[in-house]
């Protein structure tokens, strides 16, 4: 599932290439036809991301909410766009003044729906702080973590605790700070959380800037094959049984709350 940096990159792209112009919205597949008709021909005023949620704000006050889920993906194209290929849930076409025309097709999302302002507020209110949003308050997450007996490996994946963190950032952040994913939230110190929050924000900002996850420090990167979009170089994520980059211990794996978990038993004891 795409993590928060991917949604923020999409929001920035759509803001730059579509915002401020009349946007033609359609649903070639038909599943979003009624919603598309409600915003078709309106001005897109803002595109933004909250965690793993993408929001398109229109001048009518209506908002298109997209959650990509496991299979959702946008594909971009200059104009003119060709005939839709595959199951295109939503097609957007715009041409801001002074810029070349731009179009994008959305396929396979978990959610693509129209929301009103109160529904948008309800959505964002139930999310934890997003490290990529200006003014995000890490104390909101810390307030929940330090009172919970759930393992920190589960808490980091809870979007009501921290918005935008997925399986890769969860595993890599815990390794980088030598924290066992099984440690209860109540056993984490405020200093550890402050350091983790700062590092998480820095890692995710790199992801937004370069379009890929960069989590391994240069001194620990031993000349492995270059990054691939399907499998970033990591310390522990998807390295079950491989030697730890730091100590050589085989990387461990288990399922925690229905998601695959990876960690080094030596570097992350407990």
Question: Would you give the DSSP letter of residue 211?
Answer: S
Selected catalytic residue, list 9, 52, 170, 233: 52
46 catalytic? Reply is no
52 catalytic? Reply is yes
Neighbours of 260 (CB within 10 A): 13
115 CB-near residues (< 8 Å, 6+ apart):
55, 62, 63, 64, 65, 123
CA distances from 111 to 65, 125, 130 (A): 7, 18, 20
Selected catalytic residue, list 2, 28, 151, 181: 2
Contact between 144 and 161 (Cβ < 8 Å): yes
Element (H, E) at 56: strand 53-58
* pLDDT 10s digits, 87-137: 999 999 998 776 778 999 999 999 999 999 999 999 999 999 999 999 999
* pLDDT 10s digits, 17-64: 999 999 999 999 999 999 999 999 999 999 999 999 999 999 999 999
Q: Which residue has the tokens 């997450």?
A: 141
3 catalytic? Reply is yes
Selected catalytic residue, list 24, 46, 140, 259: 259
Contact between 268 and 179 (Cβ < 8 Å): yes
* pLDDT 10s digits, 212-239: 999 999 888 776 554 455 567 899 999 9
Selected catalytic residue, list 3, 109, 172, 183: 3
Predicted TM-score of the model (pTM)? 0.93
9 catalytic? Reply is no
Distance, in Å, from the CA atom of 121 to the CA atom of 153, rounded to the nearest integer, reads 28
* pLDDT 10s digits, 161-190: 999 999 999 999 999 999 999 999 999 999
């Amino acid at each position: 599932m795409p993590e928060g940096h991917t949604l923020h990159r999409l929001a920035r792209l759509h803001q730059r290439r579509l915002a401020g112009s009349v946007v033609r919205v359609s649903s070639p597949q038909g599943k979003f036809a009624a919603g598309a008709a409600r915003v078709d021909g309106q001005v897109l005023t803002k595109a933004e991301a909250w965690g793993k949620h993408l929001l398109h704000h229109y001048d009518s006050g209506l908002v298109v909410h997209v959650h990509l889920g496991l299979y959702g993906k946008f594909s971009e194209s200059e104009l003119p766009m060709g005939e839709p290929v595959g199951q295109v849930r939503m097609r957007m076409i715009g041409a801001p003044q002074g810029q070349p025309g731009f179009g994008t097709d959305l396929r396979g999302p978990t959610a693509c729906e129209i929301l009103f302002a109160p529904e948008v507020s309800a959505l964002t209110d139930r999310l934890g702080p997003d490290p990529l949003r200006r003014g995000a308050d890490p104390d909101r997450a810390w307030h929940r973590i330090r009172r919970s007996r759930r393992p920190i490996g589960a808490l980091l994946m809870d979007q009501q605790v921290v918005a935008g963190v997925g399986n890769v950032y969860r595993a890599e952040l815990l390794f980088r700070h030598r924290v066992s994913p099984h440690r209860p939230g109540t056993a984490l110190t405020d200093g550890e959380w402050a350091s983790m929050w700062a590092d998480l924000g820095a890692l995710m900002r790199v992801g937004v800037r370069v379009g890929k996850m960069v989590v391994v420090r240069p001194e620990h990167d031993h000349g492995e094959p270059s990054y691939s979009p399907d499998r970033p170089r990591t310390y522990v994520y998807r390295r079950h049984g491989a030697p730890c980059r730091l100590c050589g211990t085989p990387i461990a794996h288990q399922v925690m709350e229905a998601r695959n978990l990876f960690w080094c038993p030596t570097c992350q004891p407990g």
